Each structure stands twice: as structure tokens, then as C-alpha cells.
A and B are shown apart, each in its own frame.
Chain A
Amino acid sequence: MRIRYSATVAGLAASALVLAACGGDDEDEYGSGGAEAPGSLSFYTDKAAWEPQFLQVSDVSENALGLTLDFTGYSEADQYSAFIRQSFRTDEKPDLFTWHTGSELEDLVAEGLVAPTTDIWQQSIDEGNVPGDLREHFTIDGEQYCVPMNAAYWVMYYNTKVFAEHDIKEPTTWDELVAAADKLVAAGQTPFYETNILFSFVWFQTLLAGTDPELYAALSSGEASYTDAGVVDVMNRWREMHEKGYFGDPGDQTEPQVQLKNGTVAMINFGTFLSGQLNSVDMVSGTDYDFFIIPKVNPDLEQTPLIFETGPICTAEEAQNRDLALQYASWWMTEEAQTTWANARGDVSFNPKALINDEQLASLNQEAGTDGYQLLERYFEATPTPVLTAALDEFSAFVTNPGDPMPHLETIQAEAEAYWSDQG
């Protein structure tokens, strides 16, 4: 028995090591990833779940460019950011990687780690592949970096059956929206979705941008204070909405798409990427759900503020396949790439020529480009990271226990002052 036992242990350990060694050999044969093979670009993203959609585009690019994406996905955005940052110290510099605009991108550019894309932008704007307004979000000190990976607008999704049941039409003014919410509350139906995890900023963004877009912009550039009267008013309005019972349980971790489907909430203030998630729970666009642009809170505004979100795809300056990667980035903005991408994701595109299959999204894409709307960058990208981190925590606490907004605003402002004074 003893001998057999020892032999088993030895055998187990030995065979495991042999297997491991075999694995190592495999590795050498194929190379680590296909990145070294010609025509394949190493591609990193924190949107691991979007692998199938990225690979669909990769299939198209294989024909169009002879280039494919060698996909590596991370599921944890914070860790992803850390690894990309560290990868610049190694030989594993990414050919292409998704990132965030704002302070995250500024960090990389300050160290000269990202390849500029100024020429690509000019060409794409000239060809009408991307609206010129978008350029400023990718500009640092007069040069452009990265290209937009995706685009999304933040709108109000609603469950059409719940609306029909309570005889509610798509609101076109803030008062109509409030009236609709009151009607739903009176009938025992929760109007709006809200969460205290990550997306706790959403209603702050909507209310502030809809009330005073200039203050919204000034807040993200450090020119206004979180304790300014305008911000406090917005927080108090938000608090009143809580007191009237407009919002669902912020601790409910049921996914938003399921909450909308089950009628737990009637409306969700969310990015247009929610369409894809709603489709995945067998809801049909235009039949089971629809969306409308959130009316301006302040009726005196000339344009309706519309929150816009975009994330970049970047190339490392010293990437192994830098030039091919830039070629890929340029192609990414074309009609061909964007039609594939937007439809694969079930979302809108920044390229106005892209053919969006979903009618609702297609018309939003058209409408957003007209004069009636003022595009504002999403709070998440517009706010410098340390301030954002503090703000997300404070908003999370606020939506959980709505009360006096001042302590929350003071905490955020303290972080903002520390950040902006550091920036000199």
C-alpha cells in the first residue's frame, strides 16, 4: 500500500510535468498567439464578451485587407488598464487595443506611447466616414490619437407593453416625462431603473446636462465646482424624484434588460448598446421595446442635450506591427467595417454611411446629426479618473440612501480640487 501510494504520487507529479512540458512545446511551435504570423495583429480589449462581434469584423478585414485580429479579452476593466500600462515596459506591446478617451488617454500620450492618427482622421473626415465634431475627443495638444471603436447614445428605453397598458405616449417634454412617471407610480408601477454599481452616475448626468449643459462641461474641465448652486439644485431634483418613488431598487442586481422585460421597471436610461442586450432576451425592437431621446429638463435650452459615448482603438507607438495596425485603424472607420460592426453589436455607428439594420437605431443615428441636438460626452469619459472614482462612490451612496447631497458633493469636490491642482 505504501509503495503503491508513493508511486502514485510520483506518477501524478511526473505526468503533470510532462504534460506541462508538452504544452510548452506547443507554445513554441505556434508562437505565443498568432501575433507573429504575418497578417495577424495582436488585439486587446476589456470587452471580452464582444469577442464574437470583433471576430466577425476580423473575418471581413481578412478579405478586405488581408489582416485579422488576434483577440485577447479581459473581463475586468481596471485590471485591463493596469496590464496595458505595464505592457509598454515589455516586448508585448499591443498592436491594437481598446482604451478610454479623457485622462486615461492623456496619460499614455504624455509618455509618447500611442501612435498619432492625425492623417488618418483627416482622410476619414474628408471621405465622410466620421463627423468632424468627434475629432476633439481624440485630440491632445493638436494631434489626434487612436480612432473611435464604437459609438453609443444615452437614451430612454421603455417597455412598450407597460406604456400601452398605462396609456402613455413617448414624452416629448420633461413635463410629459414627469407626468408619465407620476401616472406609473400612482398605478404601482416603478418608472425608472437605477443601480448603485458602476452606473450610479447616469441620472446625475441626465439631469445636469439637461438643465445646464455649460455647467456640465465646466464641471468636467474643472472650471466649475461640485458645490455650485446649479449642481446642488440638480442633486435636490434627483432627491425629490427618489422621494416620489420614481426609481427601482438600486441594489437589484438583476440585469437591466431582464428588469425591463419583466416590467420591474418601465423605463431605463441607458446607452444604445442596451439594444443588443434586449435582443438577447428575445425582446423585439419596435414591438416589445423602443426608446426616445430624453427631453431637455430646462425647456429654455435651444438644443436638446444628447449624451454621447465613444471608446477608442489605439496603436502602441512601438508595436511590432505599428504600420499595419494603423492601416487597420483607418479601415475600421470605413463604411464596410462600420456596417459589419454596428450590426454585429446591434448598436449605432459614428459613420453616417453605415447601414444600420435596426430601424429605431438607424433613425436615431440620422436624428442625432441634426441641429436640434447638442452632443455631450458621457460623464464617465468626460471626468478625470480619480474624480470619477470618488463620484461613482458618492452617487452610489446617494442613490442607496437619498438625503442631503452636500456631504457627497463636498467629497467629490475635494477630490476634484486635488486633481486639478496636481495638473497645475
Chain B
Amino acid sequence: MSRVIRPVVLTILGVIWLAPLYLLLVNAAKPAAEYASDAVWRPIAEFALVDNIVDAWERAGLGEAVLSTVIYSIAGPAVAVLIGAAIGYAIVALRLKHGFFWFVLVFGGTVFPLQMIILPLFVGYAEVGLFDTRLGMIAVYAAISVPFSALVMRNFLGGIAHQVFEAAVMDGATTWRIFWRIYLPMSRSALVAVFILQATFVWNDLLLGLALSQSGDVRPLMTALTSMQSTYGGSQLPTVLAGGLLVSLPTVVLFLSTQRFFTRGLNLGQF
């Protein structure tokens, strides 16, 4: 019975979920002048996706921003994942005193509305010379990602029996070695999940990019892309969609290529 129900339910939901994506593809492929809001579902024979993508690429001047955005999306979350795992390890395995307090302190970083901290950050960055530097951007992206990372890692590492730690200590391993060689590899799927979610967030960030950078080779991608769409942009919807589609490709590929970490079998049970 459930063998039938599950695929059916999942397929129905899947179709609903894919419908807006269909709209995205179909309308991104329409010639800019052919798009009409009362015929969004209807595809048009003339296939202009490539033209629209090229148009978006040129209009927004995306080329320059790609490298820096790739760097931010890898470095920021990578640092955050490690830092988050480290404090999770400190609390759960090393039994850090007042662990809950420290955890709350770190997780508390997530309650502040980002919109309100960008102004003081901007002034602070300008004062210490981090404004408009890649290092500054990575630091802030890492900081933003740490609370989430700490929450997930703390809970995930909590699922590892403390005997694992004790046994490793018996074998004479250092705390660093236990962290690096045992706890991190055991939490692969959580690390990957946190990383891809945060990398996607950084890749799509607009707010921090606008606030803390200025020159072409430091500014991230979205600041360039959204200018097309602004009141003064005057770009057509198909062009905007094509641009959105283009910048979605890396994150989609990232999600697809990491799915193998989430298949049954890589579970903690095997350790």
C-alpha cells in the first residue's frame, strides 16, 4: 500500500513544486518583446534563452563579479562550518563549562536583523580598512553563517555517543586529533548540508555586498544582477529571468553534486 502512496504523493507534490520552475524556464526563453503576463504558461516557438542570457550577462556586467563571489561562497561557509563544528565539539564532547550559555551567545547572533547591522558594520569596516576588501567580505559571510552552523553541528555531534570520545582518549589521541579525525568525518552529511545551504545564501547575498564593497573585483554578483531589475533598469522580464537562471546554475549544480552525501547508508550507525 505505502509503496504506491509514497511515490504518488511525492510525484504530485513534485509537480506542484516544479510548475514555477517551468514558468521560469519558459519565460526566460521568450524573446523579450514577446512576453505577455496573461500567457505565462504558453511556450513560444522562438527560442531566445541564449540571447537573453547573453543580454543579461552584458547588461549586468556579471563577468567581473564571478570570481570574487565564488571565493566568498566557498571560503565564508567553509570557515563557518569548521568554527561551528569546533564549538559544537567543545560543548558536546569536551563538555565546555556553561556550554548552554556559550551556545546561546553564539546562536543569539542570528536574531539580529541583518538590515540594521550593516550600517555600523560599514563604518567599522571603513575605519579598520576592511571596507571593499575580499578578506572583509569573507569574514562577514563567515560570521553570518556561524550561528546556523553552530546550532546544526552542536545537535548533530550530540548524536555521537560519548563513548567514542572516551575510547579515542584511551588510545592516546589529542583533542585536536579526535576532532579532526573522528568527529568531523562522522558528521560529513551535516557538514555538507550546512556548507551548501550557507554557500547558497552567500552566493545570493545582496545586502552585505552592497554595504561593504565598492570596486568591481570585490563586489559580489547579485549587486550587479539586481541593478537590471531596479526602477531605472528598464530590463525586460525575460532578460531578468534569464539572468536569474544563469546565476542559479552554480547553486543548482552544487545541490545536485552533493546529493550522494544524503543517501541512506552514510549514517552514524556504521561507526
Contacts and interface: CB of A to CB of B under 8 A. Distances in A.
Question: Within 8 Å by CB, do A and B touch in the complex?
Answer: yes
Interface of A: 1-3, 5-6, 9, 12-13, 16-17, 19-21, 23-24, 26-27, 30, 32-33, 47-51, 72-77, 79, 82-83, 86-87, 89-92, 198, 252, 254-255, 257-258, 261-262, 264, 273, 276-277, 280-282
A16 B75 contact: yes
Given A9-B191, A19-B71, A90-B127, 20 more contacts: A6-B180, A13-B79, A16-B71, A19-B75, A20-B75, A23-B135, A23-B218, A32-B131, A32-B132, A48-B230, A48-B233, A49-B235, A72-B215, A75-B227, A87-B126, A89-B126, A198-B231, A254-B237, A258-B237, A276-B234
Contacts of B210: 74-76, 79, 83
Interface in B68-93: 68, 71, 74-75, 78-79, 82
A82 B121 CA distance: 13
Nearest to A3: B181
Interface in B91-139: 119, 122-123, 126-127, 131-135, 138
B236 A83 contact: no
B113 to A, nearest CB: 14
A2 B237 contact: no
Contacts of A5: 184-185, 188
B250 to A, nearest CB: 15
B145 interface: no
Contacts of B51: none
A72 B214 contact: yes
B230 A76 contact: yes
Given A76-B210, A86-B119, A261 B33 contact: yes
Nearest to B222: A75
B33 A49 contact: no
B228 interface: yes
B236 A258 contact: yes
Contacts of B35: 258
B214 A32 contact: yes
A218 to B, nearest CB: 29
Given A2-B185, A73-B227, A262-B36, A23 B134 contact: yes
Given A2-B181, A24-B134, A75 B229 contact: yes
B229 to A, nearest CB: 7
A-B residue pairs, 8 tightest by C-beta: A48-B227, A16-B75, A90-B126, A23-B134, A49-B233, A277-B234, A2-B185, A75-B227
A75 B223 contact: yes
B204 to A, nearest CB: 14
Nearest to A5: B185
A128 B207 CA distance: 43
Interface in B125-171: 126-127, 131-135, 138
B217 interface: yes
A5 B188 CA distance: 9
B232 A49 contact: yes
Contacts of A252: 37
A254 B184 contact: no
A27 B75 contact: no
A117 B215 CA distance: 28
A20 B136 CA distance: 10
A363 B128 CA distance: 53
A33 B131 contact: no
Contacts of A273: 232
A27 B133 contact: yes
B227 A49 contact: yes
B199 to A, nearest CB: 11
B237 A50 contact: no
B161 to A, nearest CB: 17
B178 interface: no
A83 B211 contact: yes
Nearest to A257: B234
A264 B135 CA distance: 49
A16 B237 CA distance: 35
B248 interface: no
A198 B232 CA distance: 12
B226 interface: yes
A6 B185 contact: yes
Contacts of A77: 230-231
B32 interface: yes
B61 interface: yes
Contacts of B61: 51
